[in-house]
Amino acid sequence: MLKSFITILLREMHIVLNTSSRVFMPIVYLLLIITFFSISLEGTTVGGYENILPQIIWLSCLLVSLLNMDSLFKEDYEDGTLDGIVINSEILEISLLAKVIAHWMFTIIPLVIVAFSTNLLLTAKLDVSIILLISLIIGTLTLSLIGSIVASLTLSLRGNGLLLSTIVLPLDIPILIFGTSAIYNASIGMNYNSEMLFLTTLLVLFLIIAPFAASFGVRNSLD
Amino acid sequence: MISNLISLENISLVRQDKEIINNYSLQINQKQKYNIYGENGSGKTSLLKIIAGITEPTKGEIHSNPSFDMNKDIFYIGHKYGLKNELTVYQNLEYALNFANNDDLSLIESELEEYSMKKYINTQVRYLSHGQKKIISLIQLTLISNKLWLLDEPFTGLDKVKIDLLLSKMDKHVSNMGSIVITSHNVKENFDNIKLC
């Protein structure tokens, strides 16, 4: 079971290493969104747009991570490797969880690191940047887990990317609210523990639910 | 002693109000090669997917021998190749071996040599032709050697030399107590031919 988990992780890593655009394109989109926000808000925001930059970065990460979401299972479905995972997995839920974590590690984490670095460079506030980093790590993993449920259910539909984004976005709102609230509280010196606790609770909840829901969705989509 | 691996009893499959398979029964035994043949739309692929456990039948039951593990002992190759285009031939086969808990990576080179594919070992699969991808897909069978091979039209896209090589691999698998179920459009020699109407 652990071996198949690691095998899937290593496979996804090799795929990312062989196709670097999967890592770089989301980073380019993130930097473009941040740049355009900065250009449009510079000089128009009371108190300076640096105060809302971490929230902008958080939102940008959410939107960019949504772009990749439909590729979570779609490519495996189209090339037939998903059949093998469904048939030969000792525990399908573990294999699917491995796919989600691999997707998050190799396409979202680089995004998070760039987001942290960008915020630190533009605001020079290490404490807020660290809270941004931690909230993004927790939040984006939760987003990936939520996305995996919807991606599995919409697998067999053509053009499922738009449908997936439409369904996932409302589900991401609580994560966005609490993620940005934690950063805001940190920036004004207030306690952010309850927001972080809520984010962590959501993560644990979806860590338990998502593999089972995704397994159901994948089996139905292949049927 | 030849034992029964899987029994399908009174299997029916209905999709979008259309009956694809109607009250079909089949016993898959050890050391047997089955060829399920029929016209397009007769349900061959659907039946294979039911045996593989990918598709749930609308009615009927599937029983397996207690010594037969439906997760570990089946290897299924459908119309798609089951290969990642971004990975090399070697990486794809290595992944298949690792997923099947087999660490003997030396088998990869020897199998590729037999199919005259060794020169593509470090080529990304996306650069291979359809026939070459099919061969790499089929090489997984002999590397992993699960008890039951389920192959959907395995000879399509192969030249005569590769077909003969594949048939000899199949005979070797059966003589090692394995079983094979293939689908095709016509009768095959040395197979237990079952027509699906």
B84, B91, B124: residue with CB nearest A81? B84
* Interface contact B99, partner A, CB < 8 A: yes
Length of chain A: 223
Torsion of CA B181, B185, B189, B193, to 10 degrees: 50
d(CA B188, CA A115): 60
Question: What value does the mean pLDDT of chain B take?
Answer: 89
Q: Which two tokens stand for residue A33?
A: 């969104």
Query: Which pLDDT tens digit goes with each residue over B8-27?
Result: 999 999 988 888 888 999 99
B100 in Cβ contact with B92 (< 8 Å): no
A3, A83, A90: residue with CB nearest B71? A90
Q: Are B99 and A88 within 8 A, CB to CB?
A: yes
Q: Are B80 and A14 within 8 A, CB to CB?
A: no
Which contiguous run of DSSP H or E holds residue B85?
A: none
Residue A144 has a pLDDT of 94
User: How many Cα atoms are found within 13 Å in the side-chain-facing hemisphere of A156?
Assistant: 8
CB pairs below 8 Å between A and B: how many? 77
Q: Could you give the strand order of the β-sheet that contains B4-15, starting from the edge strand earlier in sequence?
A: B18-29, B4-15, B59-64
Spatial CB neighbours of B108, under 8 Å, sequence gap ≥ 6: B90, B93, B94, B97, B121, B143
d(CA A74, CA B184): 28
**End-to-end CA distance of chain B, in Å?**
32
Interface test with A, best of B13, B46, B71 (most A CBs within 10 A): B71
Spatial CB neighbours of B129, under 8 Å, sequence gap ≥ 6: none
Query: Which pLDDT tens digit goes with each residue over A61-70?
Result: 988 888 888 8
A221 in Cβ contact with A153 (< 8 Å): yes
**Closest CA–CA distance from residue B100 to any residue of chain A (Å):** 8
Q: Could you give the strand order of the β-sheet that contains B148-152, starting from the edge strand earlier in sequence?
A: B74-77, B148-152, B179-184, B33-37, B192-195
Q: Tell me, what amino acid is at B192?
A: D
Burial group, residue A107, by CB count within 10 angstroms (0-12, 13-18, 19+): buried
DSSP B88: B
The phi, psi pair for B5, rounded to 5°, reads -90, -55
pLDDT at B197 over 90: no
Enter the pTM of the model.
0.89
B84, B86, B100: residue with CB nearest A88? B100
Provide DSSP, A30-44. Answer: HHHHHHHHHHHHTTT
Say whether the ipTM exceeds 0.85.
yes
Q: Coil, strand or helix: which one is B9?
A: strand
Q: What is the pLDDT along chain A (223 residues), one digit of tens a residue?
A: 788 889 899 999 999 888 877 788 889 999 999 888 888 877 666 666 777 888 889 999 988 888 888 888 988 999 999 999 999 888 999 999 999 999 999 999 999 999 999 999 888 889 999 999 999 999 999 999 999 999 998 887 776 677 887 888 888 899 999 999 999 999 888 999 999 999 999 999 999 999 999 999 999 888 7
A73 in Cβ contact with A222 (< 8 Å): no
Q: Coil, strand or helix: which one is B13?
A: strand
B72 in Cβ contact with A3 (< 8 Å): no
Q: Are A87 and B74 within 8 A, CB to CB?
A: yes
Interface test with A, best of B85, B99, B146, B149 (most A CBs within 10 A): B99
d(CA A203, CA A218): 21
Q: What angle separates helix B89-99 from helix A2-18, to the nearest 10 degrees?
A: 170
Residue A96 has a pLDDT of 94
A15, A89, A223: residue with CB nearest B56? A223
A48: alpha, beta or left? (left if phi > 0; alpha if psi -120 to 50): left
Read off the pLDDT band of B190 (50, 70, 90): confident
Interface test with A, best of B83, B92, B95, B133 (most A CBs within 10 A): B95
Q: Which two tokens stand for residue A185?
A: 């509280």
The phi, psi pair for A162, rounded to 5°, reads -65, -45
